[in-house]
Chain A
Amino acid sequence: DVKVTQSSRYLVKRTGEKVFLECVQDMDHENMFWYRQDPGLGLRLIYFSYDVKMKEKGDIPEGYSVSREKKERFSLILESASTNQTSMYLCASRPGTHYGYTFGSGTRLTVV
C-alpha cells in the first residue's frame, strides 16, 4: 500500500514562528498536495506540485509556501504563524492526474 507520512500528528507553535510541516510518500507518486481541513469548511487546497521543483497555488495560498526538492517529499511552510492558521493539515499524493488521492494521517496544528 502507498504510504503518505506526515512528520507530526500534533504541533503547538507560537504566533510569529516559522513552521515546517513535512510529508513523505513512498510510492514514486508524481503529484503531491497540501490541504487544510476546518469544521464546516471542508477541505481547502493550499498548494500542490505536479513534479519535483514545481509548485502551484491552490485556493488559499496566502501565508504559506511549499518546497519540493525531492520527488518523495513535499514541505509546507508557514512563514509567520498566526492563530487563524490553527487547523488540521492534510498531505496527499497521487500517481498522476487521473487518480484518486492517498492522504496522510494529518497534522493538527495549534498556533497560540
Chain B
Amino acid sequence: GQQVMQIPQYQHVQEGEDFTTYCNSSTTLSNIQWYKQRPGGHPVFLIQLVKSGEVKKQKRLTFQFGEAKKNSSLHITATQTTDVGTYFCAGPPGGSYIPTFGRGTSLIVHP
C-alpha cells in the first residue's frame, strides 16, 4: 500500500533558525495537506496544495509540492517558540479521496 514518509522525525533548532521538513510518498498524490499539532493538542489543518510544482506561503511558512506530485516540503523561516509542535503531511494516492498521513516531524525550538 501507499507509504508517506516524513523526515526528520525530530528537529531541534535555536529560536531564529530556519526549519524544513520533507514528505515523500511511494505513489503519486492527488494533493498534499499539512497539519500542525501543538503538544497536548489536536492536528490543525494548515494548507492544501493541488498542482504540480505549486508553492504557497503563509507568513513565515512556505509549502511546496513537487513536480512529480510525490513529495512536498514545509519550510519555516526564523522559527519562534510558537512554532513548536508536530507537523504532519497527508495525501491521497491518485484515485483515492482518503489521505495517508506521514508520522510527522516534531519541531523543538530553544529560546
A: residues with CB less than 8 A from B are: 40-43, 45, 48, 58, 90, 97-106
Contact = CB atoms under 8 A, between A and B. Distances in A.
Given A42-B88, A45-B98, A103 B103 contact: no
B43 interface: yes
B103 A41 contact: yes
A42 B101 contact: yes
Contacts, number: 37
A45 B101 CA distance: 9
Nearest to A2: B45
Given A98-B31, A100-B48, A43 B98 contact: no
Nearest to A56: B98
Nearest to B96: A97
B104 A101 contact: no
A98 B97 CA distance: 7
B42 interface: yes
